[in-house]
Structure 1
Amino acid sequence: LFIQILLDWFKTLILFVAGKGKWCYTSQLCAVSNCSGNSKQFTSCGKDSQSPINIVTSKVKMDWNLKPFTFEGYEKQTAKWVLENDGHSVKVTLQESAKITDGSLNSKYKATQFHFHWGSHGNWGSSPGSEHSIDGERYAMEVSAILAGVTASIRENYPGKKVQMEPLALKSLIPHEKNLTRYYRYAGSLTTPGCNEAVVWTVFEEPIELGQQQVQAFPTTVFFSTNLSLPMMDNFRPIQPLGNRTVYKSSAGAILPPAKALLVITIAYLMVTLFQ
């Protein structure tokens, strides 16, 4: 469905808050002791510029200054990536440089890792697991990648487990170059505690479709628990109020209609600033 580039101005992602214990998703409360399932118990998670949001396309504002992006090092990666279950998601850490510039950003950024959000799967079918939505429609996943090289590496994936995987061309994880000029932009936050409101979100319009088996690999082979008793699913934060914020749209192209296929994903890159 849509691709998201999350630009994090902090160099450290804080997942624990002093005095509040660990946080966890509602879907894992029954298996994790001493954790908080309501992220708003963490002070910064209750502020006014939180993510994710529902993007209402009829209310976005055109910004003629939003320019196309330039991706460096996305053609080829050679160093093996590290895939890890951090207890909340599956993340992949890059081992060599890849950068993003332009897009009307003030700095050059370095891609450091990507991670996944997904719903659930059972005999009744699948439920959507994306965090952001467009015109109220949520999608199967909101992830940084979900290609064969990744899904083949997550078998019986439990918290703390790390494996190396062959790198993919980052170019294959984003829309075709001609579609990278159509995107939304808004100011938001991290979607996990501490929910820092220092994030610039870019949401691309172009969808990416995948096979059903690839989508189902996550809620059926990744686990919240080390004894493999609790499959990891529904690891997404609910939609947050937009409030007084404005969502902007780049000027290139018309708004695409929401994807109807279930087997569509979003991509979210966690970037850290390279140059101030």
Structure 2
Amino acid sequence: MNFLVAAALAVCAYVSSVHCASEPIAWCYHLPSCNDNTWPTISPQYCNGTRQSPINIVSSNSKPDASLTAFTFKNFDNTSVLKSIKNTGGTVKVTFGSGVQVSGGGLSEAYDSLQFHLHWGNGSSVPGSEHTVDGKRYPMELHIVNSKASYNGNTTQAVADSKGLAVLGFFIEEMSGTATGQPASWKTLTSYLTNIKNKDDSVSIASGISLDDLLDGVNLSRYYRYLGSLTSPACNEAVVWNVFKEPIKVSKDLIDLFSTTIHINNSSSPLMTNVFRKIQPDQPVTESAGISSRED
């Protein structure tokens, strides 16, 4: 049986920290015995809660909020901050070095940026973003996970706080035309996938690409905000969600690599496809105003 045993409320895989509580939860995306239909039963404390993610964002119901001003992104332009890339058995996760932060944007304090991971379907033709907008599901979604700086990486404290985590969500859309291997930053990132085909495979990332490079072309001043949860067990209701309106554009061949290269366990196990949670009940959504900024 292929499933994920999340040895830290499933939060360690999602958040990445040395401070993690230990409570194994077996969950998966692909088997009826442990897929997201079962999560409210196998992890009922939060997965059966009232503030769950992801949601369908109805743009006409989103209310402008003047407090959602510019974010400040610290070290997003640093080409040495992406440290390692790992196959967790449920996603591809990239861990950051220290000193990366997000602040502003109506957040109560600065948040330390810890890692990003991705969700996808089955190639560019079977979309797999977690959030949808007006019912539209994108091919992929990237989540940058951030924890309140005052917790110093202690995710046990962060997931116990209703706003302990802030996640930046970016849709990934197929680039128009017949371009391949574009953009260059994503070609570099996906070049590592052949080194992490099996669960728990992890390799270092060489200097050369930054978070800014991967987010190139996205207007970082336009985003939706709502209060929700982690999107895998234990589904802690601790996340300030920021879902950006404009997608990252990536060529079809690079999007397809995720569902044709990565395995759930080893090479004889299924390829990792459709790694996203189904849509949860609506939450109140607001939208931003402001201009993004950088802090070097």
Does TM, normalized by the shorter one, top 0.5? Answer: yes
Contact 2:52 2:228 (C-alpha < 8 Å) held by counterparts = yes
Instruction: Give the corresponding residue for 2:117.
Output: 115
Structure 1 residues 23, 62: closer, same or farther in 2, change over 3 A?
same
Contact 1:149 1:166 (C-alpha < 8 Å) held by counterparts = no
Overall identity of the aligned pairs, in %: 38
Structure 2: how far apart are the matches of 1:143 and 1:13? Answer: 23
Task: Select 1:85's aligned residue among 87, 90, 103.
Answer: 87
Structure 2: how far apart are the matches of 1:54 and 1:11? Answer: 33
**2:98 is the counterpart of 1:96:** yes
Structure 1: how far apart are the matches of 2:267 and 2:247? Answer: 36
How is 1:124-273 mapped onto 2 (pairs within 5 angstroms)? 126-144=125-143, 147-155=186-194, 157-167=197-207, 168-176=209-217, 179-242=219-282, 245-251=283-289
Structure 2: how far apart are the matches of 1:87 and 1:111? Answer: 22
SS at match of 1:106: coil
Contact 2:94 2:115 (C-alpha < 8 Å) held by counterparts = yes
Contact 2:77 2:210 (C-alpha < 8 Å) held by counterparts = yes
Q: Give the TM-score normalised by structure 1.
A: 0.76
Q: Give the TM-score normalised by structure 2.
A: 0.72
Contact 2:70 2:289 (C-alpha < 8 Å) held by counterparts = no
Q: For residues 212-264 of structure 1, give each alpha carbon's deviation from its aligned partner in whole angstroms, at most 9, with x where no partner exists.
A: 1110000000000213431000000000001xx310011359xxxxxxxxxxx
Q: For residues 54-106 of structure 1, give each alpha carbon's deviation from its aligned partner in whole angstroms, at most 9, with x where no partner exists.
A: 00001111111111101111122325621111111110111232111100101
Structure 2: how far apart are the matches of 1:212 and 1:222? Answer: 16
Structure 1: how far apart are the matches of 2:138 and 2:82? Answer: 30
Structure 1 residues 185, 11: closer, same or farther in 2, change over 3 A?
farther
Structure 1 residues 195, 11: closer, same or farther in 2, change over 3 A?
farther
Structure 1 residues 98, 118: closer, same or farther in 2, change over 3 A?
same
Aligned residue type for 1:150: L
Structure 1 residues 58, 13: closer, same or farther in 2, change over 3 A?
farther
Shift of 1:107: 1.0
Aligned residue type for 1:206: E
Shift of 1:11: 8.2
Aligned residue type for 1:58: S
Between Structure 1 and Structure 2, how many residues are aligned?
232
Ranked by relative contact order (alpha carbons within 8 Å, sequence separation 6 or more), the top structure is 1
Q: For residues 159-197 of structure 1, give each alpha carbon's deviation from its aligned partner in whole angstroms, at most 9, with x where no partner exists.
A: 0111112242111222558x2221110000000000000
What is the alpha-carbon root mean square deviation over aligned residues?
A: 2.6
Q: Which runs of 5+ in 1 are unaligned?
A: 1-6, 254-276
Contact 2:122 2:128 (C-alpha < 8 Å) held by counterparts = yes
